[in-house]
Amino acid sequence: MGWSLCQIFPIVGRLADVVPGNGTTALIIFLVFVRFLQGVLVQQGYASFSSMMGDIADEHELTTGRRQEGIFFGVVSFSGKAASGVGTFIAGVTLDLISWPAGLGVATEAIAIPAETIRNLGIVYGPLLAVFSVIGPFAYRGYALDRERHTSVLEALAARPELSPTSSTPPRFDVEGRESDAPPYADP
């Protein structure tokens, strides 16, 4: 959530005229501070997310009897690539909608961009992006794996018997480590 606020505040602050003025040293100091804070916050999020994926893989192994963290991390990687592709497409369409200059002239000569176009870009990048930045963290609300639950999952994994070399289907176990006939993904 902190990363999201650091992402949108400079733009929203400019639109509301509450950040230091353009061309000032105070603006540069403000932006460097906000981006530094954002970098610190995003690293905490990356570390937490990777740890969460490992914990989810442990719980999945307990539920299904199969260790499949590669699938989880593969889906995460694919989702990131898909979001990047879709985001690039949406950004291009949005730039067309706000009449952002395009073409060879933009790359070869300085052009004046109308103030209305700059304001529209700020609205899209600020308040409109804020909706997605603030909604995103709520996707984690369903993550109910706390320290106590994860400890019990690890203990159940450690206590369960090894898979027999003649068995083609691994047994399923509940959170206490007892063998279970429940289908995969059943509520414990």
* Nearest in space to 62 (alpha carbons), one of 179, 174, 180, 187: 174
CA distance 74 to 53: 11
The first and second tokens of residue 151, run together, are 């400890």
Per the domain annotation, does 103 fall within a domain?
yes
44-63: burial string, b at 16+ Cβ within 10 Å, e else: eeeeeeeeeeebbbbbbbbb
Q: Print pLDDT tens along the chain (188 aa).
A: 677 788 888 888 888 889 998 889 999 999 999 999 989 988 887 888 888 888 888 888 888 888 888 898 899 899 999 999 999 999 999 999 998 887 756 666 657 788 898 889 888 887 787 787 778 778 778 888 888 988 998 888 888 776 544 555 556 666 666 666 665 554 54
The first and second tokens of residue 30, run together, are 């403000």
User: What is the domain count for the chain?
Assistant: 1
Between the alpha carbon of residue 72 and those of residues 166, 175, 177, 184, the distances in Å are 27, 20, 23, 16
173: which strand partners? 179
Backbone angles phi, psi at 180, to 5 degrees: -135, 145
Domain that holds residue 102: 2-146
Per the domain annotation, does 139 fall within a domain?
yes
DSSP class of residue 178 equals -
Per the domain annotation, does 64 fall within a domain?
yes
Per the domain annotation, does 187 fall within a domain?
no
Q: Is the overall model pTM greater than 0.75, yes or no?
A: no
Query: How many DSSP H helices and E strands does the chain contain?
Result: 7, 2
CA distance 26 to 18: 12
